[in-house]
Structure 1
Amino acid sequence: MNETILKRVSTEQNFPEGKVSKVISLIKEEGNTVPFVARYRKNETGNLTEEDIRNIIDRYEYLTNLSNRKEEIIETLTKREKLTSELQKAINAAETLQELEEIYKPYKQKKKTRGMKAKEKGLEPLAKLFVQGTITTEEKAYIELEKYVDEEKGINSKEDALQGAKDIIAEQVSEKVENRNDAKGISVTNTLIETSVKDDSKDEKGVYKDYYEYQSNLNKLPLHRVMAVNRGEKEGVLKVNLISPEEKVVEKVVKREVHDLLGYSYEVVLEAIQDSVKRLIVPSIQRELRKTKTEQAEEQAIKVFSQNLERLLMQPPIKGKTILGVDPAYKSGCKLAVVDKTGEMLEVDVMYPTPPFNKKDKAREKVLKIIDNYSVDVIAIGNGTASRETEEFIAETIANVDRDVQYAIVSEDGASVYSASKLAKEEFPELDVQERSAISIARRVLDPLAELVKIDPKSMGVGQYQHDVSQTKLKETVQFVVEKVVNQVGVDVNTASVHLLRYISGLNKKSAQNMVDTRSKLGSFTTRKELKSVKGLGAKTFEQCAGFLRILDGENALDKTAIHPESYKVAQGVLDTLEEGIESLGSQELIDKVNKLIADKAKVRELSETLGTDYYTLEDILEAFKKPLYDPRDELDKPKLKKDVMQLDDLSEGMIMEGEVRNVVDFGAFVDLGLKEDGLIHISHLSEKYVKHPLEVVSVGDVVKVEVISVDKNRGRIGLKRID
């Protein structure tokens, strides 16, 4: 473990070195997973969150890679006799891999540069004469240049010789770290980004119209605009140009490079410096600045996407209900799918209440029959094509039903991707794509997490620019978020799919499949101990996964809780102390006793010492006694269920409404009001107080109270203001 890097991570992350060292040891050396360490090693980490642990590991790995790369570059430059004290100092001072590679770039040219070619032609001595100031007059230059004319070497004239000398000087100037640092210092705060239209025929919807003629300080450009400009350039709509104050850079470099030069030498070196700044130094700095800005924008986009995704995955399930899923459509008809309380498909069908068929009577008869036959509690309607007409039809149909039936509008994002996937075909080989989609829509209400883990997160309709960022970084972040949520919630090992199980701490796709195969042979797991019989599940893997796998109706009541098997002895000791049996978990009597104990922290600490455990573990055990089936999703806003429908024409300024946040972006939050169009709460209307980013005050899935402040019926736009 690198002590220097350890100290730096400790300082940057603002955690004691001991904590940072322990986290790195637990993850990198002992092979534990982040969810396991966050949940079951709180005493060793000081109760750090998953994000804290991941940030420590990511930063440690990055700084380690940066350090290793510095050593490689220094070794290479030393062997090539190119390393100067100034260059080594700059390499060691580099804060990022991007900055480091830009410093090293002039020394790893694969193609021959103009300066290299000039040196090969023997023009380096001539360049030195100019730098030393030996050639002061045009006459002396004429004589000296004549000596270097050599057609065999490709130097056909004195002008060729002079240009070659300038090229050598220009490269020498650009390779000096001091010159580069001066240029960067000036350019960071003074570089402008300018965009213009390149081909508006590629922008039929006018998405990039704001950037057809646009200029901003690059340093101050909002990060979501960076992503928009980059995308517009990539799609061939925009032309992007960076403008830096080259004159100021030249002025600064001249002060360093030109000392006592006079006459002709001064003119030649000045021209070489001007060329060096314009052709080599500033473009290099601009590349670095733009790449750094893009990396910041991508990091922000990934952060926003990951936070939205986490809240989407954490949407509370509507447990114990029978759901009718509806995938709306026009010509092909609305596909119907009924799923029971466990998500099993009971029936699929199709109805045609929408144009062009408008067979509402037959469709109504079919829906009412399904509701009656299966005791349907909730109807889940996809929000895609024909959603509005389907919603109106469903609202009318259930208005006079004796049974209490409600409906919810469900995001279809990713449903079509799942429906056509290999997984969906394996699950329902006899069904068509739309029928599978209707099942997916129903399951998204019943248990969002179990269904959404099957879908590519980029297709889920949250975030802004997830398709434009580094897909490697995005994939790593998505993996972390999904693993975090799945393990926080825990899974029923007897009903969970392979696609849910593979995100459990310590498991992968192969071990998850082995677990399902073993489950099939056994009928069901009755104890956590039986998990050890799964092929390939060794002691370490069992340790990592056991606490997150629940057995709800097993032989041991502790198996349904988040208590890890390694702590069962402690848990039993607590029960004995409280004079309660294991069958009393969740009972009011036990809850009262636990609350009384928790109220006295000194007693909890004393008991932890008596039982040979730590305070954090004992605290978690006591919480599990109170809520053995605790699901963190239950604490969040439930999905909004409806019985009637609204239209855009029903809205007017000043109306107070409730809606569900569908997506959060840098400039605001989109809210589902039950209409076809989502309303937008601009960041300036999210709170009476200053809000740096919308995620500070709202998240995907939040139910918020809003005031309608504008309605543009022609463009289908609704402006909202959040009411705190």
Structure 2
Amino acid sequence: MKDLLEIVGKKLSLKIEQVKNTVALLDEGATVPFIARYRKEVTGNLDEVKIGEILEEITYLRNLEKRKEEIIRLIDEQGKLTEELRKAILIAEKLQTLEDLYFPYKKKRKTKADIAKEMGLEPVARHIYIAKDLKELEEFAQEFITEEVENVEKAIEGGKLILAQELSENPTYREYIREYMLKNSLIISKVSKKAVELDPKKIYGDYYEYQEPIGKILSHRILALNRGEKEEILNISLILEELKREEIERFILKDYQNKNLKDFYSEIIKDSLDRLILPSIEREVRNILSEKAELEAISIFKENLKNLLMQPPLKEKNVLALDPGYRTGCKTVIIDKEGFYKEDTVLYLVKDMHNESQLKNAEKKIIDFIDKHKIDLIVIGNGTASRETESFVAELLRKYKSNVKYIIGNEAGASIYSASKIAAEEFPDLDVTVRGAISIGRRIQDPLAELVKIDPKSIGVGMYQH
């Protein structure tokens, strides 16, 4: 445990005592806000950011140590744990490095290479490293012809399959290729055959024929591509340009010392890349990209949510709140300066959709409400028919030379709130549409007090927050 604390302290540039005391409090069940506020004397005045970083780092390191123990046990049970492998596992500093070391020992479905080993063709694979030429290799392979291994070609093919699998399991190669693909591959998106049926509005149209270097792609595009793929509208793949792929082949080939069979070994490398390494690494790279994009989305969401909740309230304002709509009309509610609901109605105020009588009635009602309730502010939801409603209100206020101001308010999550348990408890006798309009008005009066009633993912302050 002491080593882990020292690692955390060194990484975060903190004293070992600060880390030790903070971890002890966290282990006792204390929360980050509690420690930051009430245990400053114990942590040496660490703020919530540093305490959160300590929690993140110690959790990662503990999971790393736990995984090391598990991997050592699993490999040992197979009777394949060497002292060199144990040492490599124990000094690993990343979970991904551990998984690369464990990869060859994972229980997988039987492969062609496994079948070749069962046929006794492993010596043929080893001889590929030392044979003077192809003729000598063929002569050596002759000794392994059996009922199962019908001829020399099949014996050599088995040896090639074994080496291809070993290349795909080599942790050094996997780490190099993973990092190389993260920097140099292209992400390609093509439209699926199901898109005509599943995406009639072409929401994902920008990605029907699309490619971009991974190093330049923005997080929101990664999330959009993932979602399009999940909905079976897009087919996503990663590719390497020919010259870049050849660079990977040369990186692996440089370790092969037998100059006489380099071309032969090069074919094994190509097979291993096509069939085993690249498909596997592609999944890992896409997981890394997705995780990074999700973390960035969460960070943006957090910042936007904080800014939204911390907007200064417009207190002491009598509000007329409008939840716009076309066919069903505009839900209209009055909220007094204390935030209490007073009354509601439905107005039809969209020109070219509602008749002159309805428009006149809407004008009269709004003016009556302004006078009756001494309205200070009109709040218009920013959803369907928002612009038409804004135009109507702006023209009305000019026509009557009213000093009342209007504002466009974010109505995201209002419908979620309106059908929630807390809304039903607040307004048991009101329709859900009226509750939604109340939420739109109240969140201008006091954003924090109103928005905390809504599930954060429904407030709409970040992309792909779901």
Task: Tell me, in whole angstroms, the C-alpha distance in 2 between the residues paired with 1:140 and 1:10.
Answer: 56
Query: Match for residue 405 of structure 2?
Result: 406
Query: Match for residue 318 of structure 1?
Result: 314
Query: Match for residue 65 of structure 2?
Result: 67
Instruction: Kindly provide the amino acid, as one letter, of the partner of residue 380 in structure 2.
Output: I
Task: Tell me, in whole angstroms, the C-alpha distance in 1 between the residues paired with 2:38 and 2:334.
Answer: 39
CA contact (8 A) 1:5 1:63 kept: yes
Query: Match for residue 378 of structure 2?
Result: 379
Instruction: Kindly provide the amino acid, as one letter, of the partner of residue 28 in structure 1.
Output: D
Task: Tell me, in whole angstroms, the C-alpha distance in 2 between the residues paired with 1:194 and 1:93.
Answer: 37
**1:150: how far off?**
1.8
Query: Match for residue 141 of structure 1?
Result: 138
Residues 570-611 of structure 1 deviation map (CA, whole Å, 9 limit, x = unaligned): xxxxxxxxxxxxxxxxxxxxxxxxxxxxxxxxxxxxxxxxxx
Task: Tell me, in whole angstroms, the C-alpha distance in 2 between the residues paired with 1:248 and 1:53.
Answer: 44
Q: 1:84 to 1:286 in 2, by over 3 A?
A: farther
Task: Tell me, in whole angstroms, the C-alpha distance in 2 between the residues paired with 1:251 and 1:388.
Answer: 61
Task: Tell me, in whole angstroms, the C-alpha distance in 2 between the residues paired with 1:37 and 1:400.
Answer: 58
Could you say what secondary structure the match of 2:378 adopts?
strand
In the alignment, structure 1 residue 166 sits paired with structure 2 residue 160: yes
Task: Tell me, in whole angstroms, the C-alpha distance in 2 between the residues paired with 1:147 and 1:183.
Answer: 34
Task: Tell me, in whole angstroms, the C-alpha distance in 1 between the residues paired with 2:191 and 2:69.
Answer: 44
Query: Match for residue 35 of structure 2?
Result: 37
Task: Tell me, in whole angstroms, the C-alpha distance in 2 between the residues paired with 1:93 and 1:240.
Answer: 36
CA contact (8 A) 2:191 2:235 kept: yes
Q: 1:188 to 1:92 in 2, by over 3 A?
A: farther
**1:71: how far off?**
2.1
Query: Match for residue 596 of structure 1?
Result: none
Q: 1:432 to 1:15 in 2, by over 3 A?
A: same
Out of 78, 81, 87, which is 1:80 matched to? 78
Residues 282-319 of structure 1 deviation map (CA, whole Å, 9 limit, x = unaligned): 33333333322222222111111111111111122222
Instruction: Kindly provide the amino acid, as one letter, of the partner of residue 361 in structure 1.
Output: K
In the alignment, structure 1 residue 350 sits paired with structure 2 residue 346: yes
Q: 1:180 to 1:33 in 2, by over 3 A?
A: closer
Query: Match for residue 671 of structure 1?
Result: none
Q: 1:43 to 1:321 in 2, by over 3 A?
A: farther
Could you say what secondary structure the match of 1:321 adopts?
coil
CA contact (8 A) 1:413 1:459 kept: yes
Instruction: Kindly provide the amino acid, as one letter, of the partner of residue 165 in structure 1.
Output: G
Q: How does 1:518-557 map to 2 (within 5 A)?
A: none
Residues 28-70 of structure 1 deviation map (CA, whole Å, 9 limit, x = unaligned): 32x3222233333344444444333223212221222122112
Q: 1:54 to 1:178 in 2, by over 3 A?
A: closer
Q: 1:93 to 1:463 in 2, by over 3 A?
A: farther
Instruction: Kindly provide the amino acid, as one letter, of the partner of residue 67 in structure 2.
Output: R
Instruction: Kindly provide the amino acid, as one letter, of the partner of residue 141 in structure 1.
Output: E
Instruction: Kindly provide the amino acid, as one letter, of the partner of residue 168 in structure 1.
Output: I
Task: Tell me, in whole angstroms, the C-alpha distance in 2 between the residues paired with 1:5 and 1:98.
Answer: 18
In the alignment, structure 1 residue 189 sits paired with structure 2 residue 189: no
Could you say what secondary structure the match of 2:165 adopts?
helix
Q: 1:368 to 1:50 in 2, by over 3 A?
A: farther
CA contact (8 A) 1:324 1:380 kept: yes
**1:440: how far off?**
0.9
**1:187: how far off?**
4.1
Could you say what secondary structure the match of 2:30 adopts?
coil
CA contact (8 A) 1:149 1:161 kept: no
Instruction: Kindly provide the amino acid, as one letter, of the partner of residue 170 in structure 1.
Output: A
Structure number with higher helix proportion: 2
Residues 621-640 of structure 1 deviation map (CA, whole Å, 9 limit, x = unaligned): xxxxxxxxxxxxxxxxxxxx
Task: Tell me, in whole angstroms, the C-alpha distance in 2 between the residues paired with 1:140 and 1:12.
Answer: 53
Q: 1:369 to 1:190 in 2, by over 3 A?
A: closer
Task: Tell me, in whole angstroms, the C-alpha distance in 1 between the residues paired with 2:336 and 2:33.
Answer: 31
Query: Match for residue 331 of structure 1?
Result: 327
CA contact (8 A) 1:419 1:434 kept: yes
In the alignment, structure 1 residue 394 sits paired with structure 2 residue 375: no
Q: 1:182 to 1:237 in 2, by over 3 A?
A: same
CA contact (8 A) 1:24 1:57 kept: yes
Query: Match for residue 248 of structure 1?
Result: 247
Task: Tell me, in whole angstroms, the C-alpha distance in 2 between the residues paired with 1:91 and 1:220.
Answer: 34
Q: How does 1:188-587 map to 2 (within 5 A)?
A: 188-198=182-192, 201=196, 208-244=204-240, 245-256=244-255, 258-260=256-258, 262=260, 269-354=265-350, 355-358=353-356, 359-399=358-398, 405-467=404-466
Task: Tell me, in whole angstroms, the C-alpha distance in 1 between the residues paired with 2:314 and 2:414.
Answer: 19
Task: Tell me, in whole angstroms, the C-alpha distance in 1 between the residues paired with 2:40 and 2:402.
Answer: 48
Task: Tell me, in whole angstroms, the C-alpha distance in 2 between the residues paired with 1:250 and 1:124.
Answer: 23
Task: Tell me, in whole angstroms, the C-alpha distance in 1 between the residues paired with 2:126 and 2:334.
Answer: 84
**1:444: how far off?**
0.8
**1:392: how far off?**
3.1
Out of 149, 155, 173, which is 1:179 matched to? 173
**1:92: how far off?**
4.4
Q: 1:288 to 1:319 in 2, by over 3 A?
A: same
Query: Match for residue 489 of structure 1?
Result: none
Residues 392-432 of structure 1 deviation map (CA, whole Å, 9 limit, x = unaligned): 33334445779853322111111122223344334333322
Q: 1:406 to 1:17 in 2, by over 3 A?
A: farther
Task: Tell me, in whole angstroms, the C-alpha distance in 2 between the residues paired with 1:92 and 1:294.
Answer: 28
CA contact (8 A) 1:34 1:54 kept: yes
TM-score by length of 2: 0.86
Task: Tell me, in whole angstroms, the C-alpha distance in 2 between the residues paired with 1:44 and 1:402.
Answer: 63
Greater shift, 110-119 or 200-209, is seen at 200-209
CA contact (8 A) 2:141 2:156 kept: no
Could you say what secondary structure the match of 1:22 adopts?
helix
Q: 1:46 to 1:143 in 2, by over 3 A?
A: closer
Once superposed, what is the RMSD of the aligned Cα atoms?
3.1
Instruction: Kindly provide the amino acid, as one letter, of the partner of residue 166 in structure 1.
Output: K
Identity of aligned residues (%): 46
Q: 1:140 to 1:288 in 2, by over 3 A?
A: closer
Structure 2: any 5+ residue segments left out of the alignment?
none
Task: Tell me, in whole angstroms, the C-alpha distance in 2 between the residues paired with 1:34 and 1:347.
Answer: 44
Residues 503-529 of structure 1 deviation map (CA, whole Å, 9 limit, x = unaligned): xxxxxxxxxxxxxxxxxxxxxxxxxxx
Task: Tell me, in whole angstroms, the C-alpha distance in 2 between the residues paired with 1:380 and 1:220.
Answer: 41
Residues 316-365 of structure 1 deviation map (CA, whole Å, 9 limit, x = unaligned): 22223332222111221211222334433222222222332452332233
Aligned length: 458
